[in-house]
Amino acid sequence: MNQIPASGCKDILENIADGVRIIDKNGHIVYANEAYCRLLGYDISELKGKSLYDLCPVKYHPAIEKSLSKREPGQRSCHELEYQDRKGNLLYLKVMSIPMFDNCSIFKGNYAIVLDITDKKRLENELVKEKEFFNGLVTTCPDSIIGINRQGIIIIFNKAAEKLLGYKAEEVIGKMSIDHIYGSVHIAKKIKKYLYSDEMGPKGQLEGMEVETPGKYGKSFPIRLSATLLFDSQGRETGSVGFFHDLTASKQMEAKLRELSIKDSLSGLYNQRHFYAVLSNEINRCKRNKNPLSLICFDLDNFKQCNDTLGHLEGDNIIRMAGKVLEETLRTTDFAFRYGGDEFMVILPETSMEGALFSSERIRDTFNSRWFFNSCKNENLIPVTLSMGVAEIADNEIADTFIKRADLAMYEAKRGGGNKTVEAKMQIGKHMHNNDCC
């Protein structure tokens, strides 16, 4: 094969796009092509005889020494170095060098192809910084962040997720499926369905879905989940990341506020507003299931006189006592309400008139046994007792009529001297039970 003449080799070196330089065994430049000179901003006359050590920061001097130490034929060296051009600008160069020998196989130096990788390196550094920023954001975010790959395996699990769910990152990353975090495959599939539709946000995103997720030790936590699909630079899906906002505190606050809105603070019973809501639900339920439903309406006899004589603080204690008696005597399926002032309502689901009369008398007897002013020296003080009206709902009866019948039966008991139960019929009767007025 014909050899390329020296002049031809030089023409090739001067016209290739990449930098080429030759150094002697001490690291001094003996040749540099135009691309290399242009890269560093020097004329060839300025570069000849210049040491590579002068062009590289001190931290890269060991790499130059390593390159010069390769003195066996065929020993190639490839490394990335920081250089400074003539203006002091930082360059990142990839240097691929091969040792040179004379005809007597004596090491004379090396020649190298030098590639400018400054833009690539800066991009890599920016990506590293972005990754560090992202990792810092994920780590310090107060909400739980969980990321998964296409197979549903967890690849991101931040400190907040550890705190919420009880798992350590090393327990789940690369090992656990997101199905386990959601507690069921069904919920996981439902979330995936929403991500691929526009039902809860734009396609590829899920916004504000409320679910419960179980922790490591079995306790479930209410969360608001927002998630997004992740894609690579070619638009291929790589996984998804979800943000789990713990709703425990807000749900507890909601429950507390709801309780305040439906509870009477003095008696501890439900209030009148909640009475109508519960009664409507129970009427619908009893009609749907064809079960009986009864209502007790009662009023405190002589309460005003006792309140005026003993004072409002003692009057409040009597209201509290009535609430406590109801809590202790009723079933867990029953509902008790302070209807207003000294009037109370009790809803008895799946209870006929016979059972309701029994409950009414039990309430009345218990209240009478708790009366704590029998030993009061004020002989004019009349004990507080209960006048009670009981109604069982009739076929197709509406709530207002049902309440009115129980209320009228209560007034019938009061007109009869109080401290008794009156059964409400479709026409108010005068059938009395346990007429034991004091």
Catalytic positions, written as ranges? 342
68: closest CA among 25, 33, 105? 25
Q: Which amino acid, residue 336?
A: A
Separation between Cα atoms, residue 219 and residue 212, nearest integer Å: 10
- Supply 214's token pair: 């179980």
- Supply 181's token pair: 């975090």
Separation between Cα atoms, residue 318 and residue 375, nearest integer Å: 16
Separation between Cα atoms, residue 305 and residue 310, nearest integer Å: 8
C-alpha 125: how far from chain center: 33
Separation between Cα atoms, residue 301 and residue 343, nearest integer Å: 10
Place of tokens 């209240």: 367
347 and 353 in contact (C-beta within 8 Å)? Answer: no
Q: Which amino acid, residue 346?
A: V
